[in-house]
Amino acid sequence: MARADGADQRELRGTLGLALQTRQCDHCGTPWDQLTLAGRLTRTFFALPVEHRLQLVVLRADPTEKLEALDAVVPPGLTRGQCRVLDELIASLRGASIRGGLVAEDAAIFGASYATLHIFLNATDEQVCSALHTCSAATGTPTMNDAQLFAFLAHQDATTLLDLLREAYAAMSTPQRRAVFGESARAAHQSCSVAIDGHRLLENIKKFHQDSFDGIYYAPFNVNSKNFMHIPEETEEWFETLGEFLAESATLTAQGAHAQAVTCFGLLYALIDAMESGEDIVFADELGSWMIPGDEPHYIAAYFTSLAAVATPEEFTTVAVPLMARDSSQSFPTRAYAAAMRVANKGQSAALQAERKCRKIRTSRRA
């Protein structure tokens, strides 16, 4: 039985009086969830984690109870259907009474869709464990015992472990990658001495820029009170890619490739401006530059450093002023004006200050 989240879980438990407890086999350590139905009838459900489209549930019940009384345990939202049970599972539950099952079509109450829900009566803990192993073998989905797994991995060579990490990385969502590999990725970036290919980076950013305006990363959904905090995977990927390109553009600045860095930063900040202006670049109930990973003050400083190296005073001011105004409207998270003034030459500095005064742009909280 898949666990429901939030209000659905509370509704399920409130309706059926369910209490959740994790049980474990004394011999092999195999875990399963035990859901106890409180009230006049006491029932214990053993939920077997057997792949996504098939869910098998073992029920311990008093054999003297009338079968009609068991109807009370049918969860809301499920309709009766024909029970189809694996022969191997029946054999593993020898001595257990078997009753018809339930068919769940899009059982949202459990948080997912399940093709079939089977109920078995009077199964012991040993039979539950045996059934779990039998079903897992039949479906090709072995149960997970973390102690056994890590004991096995401890004896594998580095190549095998790296291959496993690559597969795990490929299977993860962007937030999962950030949670597991984030610190390592930052350390790798800081220690990386490989020069950035400016031409290749620019071509990649141009494609990212075009894909963004073509709606490749735009994944809208109907926002409601239950899903308003959801961030689509496409949105997560867009911000992650944006952060990587900003970091690599800053590396171009450090390499002295200022003209290429300015072009790269210009394309990326044009995208940021479009996103913050509400264009259909990415989707979430709330969006903003606060979602950009990495050190944006560092990226802004690098942008101005390269800009100061190649731009005329007028060109420098044309780029710097919108970034200063943006920073001012957001309570100065990047300190854009100070970053620009640190690297501007005499002509650029004079032009920038004149334009700032003309537009009355605040440069700090006290200004």
Can you give the residue ranges of every domain in the chain? Answer: 6-144, 163-193, 196-359
Q: Is the pLDDT of residue 249 over 90?
A: yes
Query: Which of 92-96, 180-184, 185-189 ranks highest by mean pLDDT?
Result: 180-184
Q: Which pLDDT does position 123 carry in this prediction?
A: 55
Question: What pLDDT sits at residue 292?
Answer: 93
- Residue 14, CB half-sphere, CA atoms under 13 Å: how many? 7
Above 60 in pLDDT, residue 239?
Answer: yes
Written as six digits, the tokens of 251 are 């590396």
CA angle 232/182/290 to nearest 5° reads 55
- pLDDT at residue 195, rounded to an integer: 83
Q: Which residue has the higher pLDDT, 338 or 28?
A: 338
Mean pLDDT throughout 132-154? 66
Distance CA 16, CA 41 (A): 11
Q: What is the mean pLDDT of residues 308-313?
A: 97
Is residue 301 scored above 60 in pLDDT? yes
User: pLDDT band at residue 269, thresholds of 50, 70 and 90?
Assistant: very high
92: which 2 tokens? 């593993």
DSSP-assigned states of every residue in 328-366: HHTTSSS-HHHHHHHH--HHHHHHHHHHHHHHT---STT
pLDDT of 358: 95
pLDDT at 339 exceeding the cut of 50: yes
The answer to which of 54-63, 107-116, 230-239, 259-268 has the lowest mean pLDDT is 107-116
More confident of the two residues 214 and 114: 214
Question: What one-character-per-residue DSSP string does 34-75 give?
Answer: EEEE-SSS-EEEEEE--TTTEEEEEEE--TTS-GGGGGGG--
pLDDT in tens, 65-106: 434 444 444 444 444 333 333 444 444 444 433 333 332 322
**Residues whose CB falls within 8 Å of the CB of residue 295, separated by 6 or more in sequence, listed in order:** none
**pLDDT for position 23:** 67
pLDDT of 149 reads 83
Q: What is the mean pLDDT of residues 126-146?
A: 57
Per-residue tokens: 171: 């299977």
Residue 302 has pLDDT above 60, yes or no: yes
Which of 54, 45, 58, 55 shows the shortest CA–CA distance to 16? 45
> How high is the pLDDT of residue 234?
93
What pLDDT digit, counting tens, does each position of 218-233 carry?
999 999 888 888 899 9
Q: How do residues 2-48 score in pLDDT, each as one tens digit?
A: 333 444 444 444 544 555 566 666 666 666 555 555 444 444 444 44
In the prediction, which pLDDT does 170 show? 84
Q: Which helix (H) or strand (E) holds 119?
A: strand 116-121
User: How does residue 179 score in pLDDT terms, banded at 50, 70 and 90?
Assistant: confident
**Amino acid 364: pLDDT:** 83
178 vs 2, more confident:
178
Smallest Cα–Cα separation from 143: which of 56, 210, 265?
56
